[in-house]
Amino acid sequence: MINFIKQNKIIVIIIITYFLIFATYSGLRHYTFQTQTWDMAVFEQSFWNTTQGKLMWNNFEGKNHFAIHFSPFLLLLVPLYAVWPSPYNLLIIQTSALAVAALPLYLLAKKILDKKWAIIITCLYFLYPSLHWVNLFDFHEVSFAIPLILTIFYFLEKKRFLWSSVFLILAASVSENMIMAVFFIGLYVLILKNRKYGSIVTILSFIYFILVSTIIMPALDGGIVRLDRYSQFGQTVPEIITNAILKPSLTLQTIFTSAKMFYLLKIFLPVAFLPLIAWQTLILLVPGLIQNLLTNYESQFINFYQYDSILIPFIFIGVIFGLKKILAKEKASRKIILPTITLLTLIGFLWNSPLSHFNFPLAKFTHERIEPFKQIVTMIPDDASVAAYTNLVPHLTHRDHIYMAGHEPFLVDYAIINSEDIFDFPNEESLNQYLKIYQETNQYEILSIDDKYFILKRNE
């Protein structure tokens, strides 16, 4: 380890720098009440309840989180969380994983290309806007697929199939959609690397997906969720797949919209479109592109959330092999490639990264609601039942009964409303009806902070 650090000081410094920047930024987001119920509070309470003996249970989904997304990988993180049960710890763990992901990427690029290009590709990774948004949007299990998948490809390239198998299992355990990513890794290996090993990976991942989706998740009172986002193709997985294939006009109409073309530009511009040059690796992008392009749910194709996690490792596998293809060409092509990559990466970073001055106003950390929200959090007893505004909920999860306001199953001890933002309610009328229910009991006093934030407190 010491020798590796000495021989690769630049990479180690870059990794540490990224970690410090994004651990600080993600921590500030939480400190300034920018994290939300979905999904910071979902995971925070799931982990906290696990340490209390209630495996991955949270009140917001109303069941074991594994019924919604089958993610046994998260159990490996519980001991780390238990050391410091806090949202900040989850954010640090996530940032650490995304920072360390650069190591297998660097080693893979160094093996296939050379040390100079490996350093350049590592820099591209850390400047990639999609990575930044994944890192900053609360906490999600799918982000851990990035280091795992990059490690898989490093061991595949080294022909160390035992270790690649270990990381394939870990990647498949991240969530049910990552099982499909593993399936396509198997196809890639089958076609281009090792037919026998690829066949085994493909078959086993398919069987595992069937077991998870038809037996394990239903046994937990759940199943594959968010199929409504693909409702134009059908209501079930077989229907959606069948209609997407048999109705090409509908499929093309769904994919070729201006918003989705813009999304593809955001994905490929910062890496100079290099993954498109390496046709062999395009198969790896299929599950992520299907997931994000066949839906009409905007959050999946605006590049600001966790949904690009399934694409990012394969994008950079494509970068490596795309560069390999270009560098094998005539000298003229090799001369222009580095300036081209540098220019397009900087354009992509300035245009879309949350660290760009276009997206990084200091006002984000000086919002007028911060002090009132801090005051509200300190007012709530640890054993009280609470229903709160979405940005307050992640700060109040260490209790048995915490809900988003308007979604509590009973009248709680404290209900907290933000009168300027009715995010938790479909309209103002429903908010007024909600308040009326509490007021008519004559059991609550109303506390006001800054004439914007109202606390309904049960009388003692």
Residue 402: beta bridge partners?
386
Domain boundaries, the chain: 2-352, 370-458
Nearest to 172 by CA among 130, 207, 136, 224: 207
Give phi and psi for 447, each to the nearest 5.
Answer: -105, 140
What integer pLDDT is reported at residue 236 of this predicted model?
A: 85
Average pLDDT of the chain to the nearest whole number: 93
Q: What is the pLDDT of residues 179-192, one digit of tens each?
A: 999 999 999 999 99
Cα distances from 373 to residues 150, 182, 448, 451, 455, in angstroms, run 40, 43, 12, 13, 11
What integer pLDDT is reported at residue 427 of this predicted model?
A: 87
Q: What is the pLDDT of residues 240-281, one digit of tens each?
A: 989 999 999 999 999 999 999 999 999 999 999 999 998 888
Cα distances from 335 to residues 61, 122, 193, in angstroms, run 54, 20, 31
Residue 404: beta bridge partners?
388
Task: Please say if the pLDDT value at position 9 is more than 70.
Answer: yes
Q: Are residues 340 and 272 in contact, defined by beta-carbon separation less than 8 angstroms?
A: yes
Cα distances from 71 to residues 46, 116, 217, 298, in angstroms, run 12, 37, 11, 24
Q: What is the pLDDT of residues 277-324, one digit of tens each?
A: 988 889 999 999 999 999 999 999 998 899 999 999 999 999 999 999
Residue 225, amino acid: V
Q: Are residues 270 and 318 in contact, defined by beta-carbon separation less than 8 angstroms?
A: no
Residue 263: beta bridge partners?
none
What integer pLDDT is reported at residue 65 of this predicted model?
A: 96
Q: What is the pLDDT of residues 14-62, one digit of tens each?
A: 999 999 999 999 999 999 999 999 999 999 999 999 999 999 999 999 9
What integer pLDDT is reported at residue 423 of this predicted model?
A: 79
Under the banding of pLDDT at 50, 70 and 90, the label for residue 145 is very high
Percent of the chain past pLDDT 90, that is, above it, reads 80
Task: Please say if the pLDDT value at position 97 is more than 90.
Answer: yes
Give phi and psi for 84, each to the nearest 5.
Answer: -145, 85
Nearest to 101 by CA among 122, 83, 85, 71: 122
Cis peptide leading into residue 39 (ω within 30°): yes
What integer pLDDT is reported at residue 279 of this predicted model?
A: 85
Helix (H), strand (E), coil (C) string for the chain: CHHHHHHCHHHHHHHHHHHHHHHHHHHHHHHCCCCCHHHHHHHHHHHHHHHCCCCCEECCCCEEHHHCCCCHHHHHHHHHHHHCCCHHHHHHHHHHHHHHCHHHHHHHHHHHCCHHHHHHHHHHHHCCHHHHHHHHCCCCHHHHHHHHHHHHHHHHHCCCHHHHHHHHHHHHCCCHHHHHHHHHHHHHHHHHCCHHHHHHHHHHHHHHHHHHHHHHHHHCCCCCCCHHHHCCCCCCHHHHHHHHHHCHHHHHHHHCCHHHHHHHHHHHHHHCCHHHCCHHHHHHHHHHHHHHHCCCCHHHHCCCCHHHHHCHHHHHHHHHHHHHHHHCCCHHHHHHHHHHHHHHHHHHHHHHCCCCCCCCCHHHHCCCCHHHHHHHHHHCCCCCCEEECCCCHHHCCCCCCEEECCCCCCCCCEEEEECCCCCCCCCHHHHHHHHHHHHCCCCEEEEEECCCEEEEEECC
Task: Please say if the pLDDT value at position 215 is more than 80.
Answer: yes
Report the pLDDT averaged over residues 235-241: 87
Question: Which positions ≥6 away from 308 have C-beta within 8 Å?
Answer: 130, 133, 134, 267, 288, 292
Distance CA 240, CA 197 (A): 30
What integer pLDDT is reported at residue 363 of this predicted model?
A: 53
What integer pLDDT is reported at residue 361 of this predicted model?
A: 61
Task: Please say if the pLDDT value at position 392 is more than 60.
Answer: yes
- Which stretch of 78-82, 215-219, 252-256, 449-453 has the lowest confidence by average pLDDT? 449-453
Instruction: Find the length of the chain.
Output: 460
Residue 460, amino acid: E
What integer pLDDT is reported at residue 333 of this predicted model?
A: 66
Q: Check residue 223 and give left, alpha or beta (phi > 0: left; psi -120 to 50: alpha).
A: left
Q: What is the pLDDT of residues 324-379, one digit of tens each?
A: 999 887 665 677 899 999 999 999 999 999 998 776 665 566 677 889 999 999 99
Under the banding of pLDDT at 50, 70 and 90, the label for residue 450 is confident
What integer pLDDT is reported at residue 328 of this predicted model?
A: 86
Question: Which positions ≥6 away from 324 have C-beta within 8 Å?
Answer: 112, 113, 278
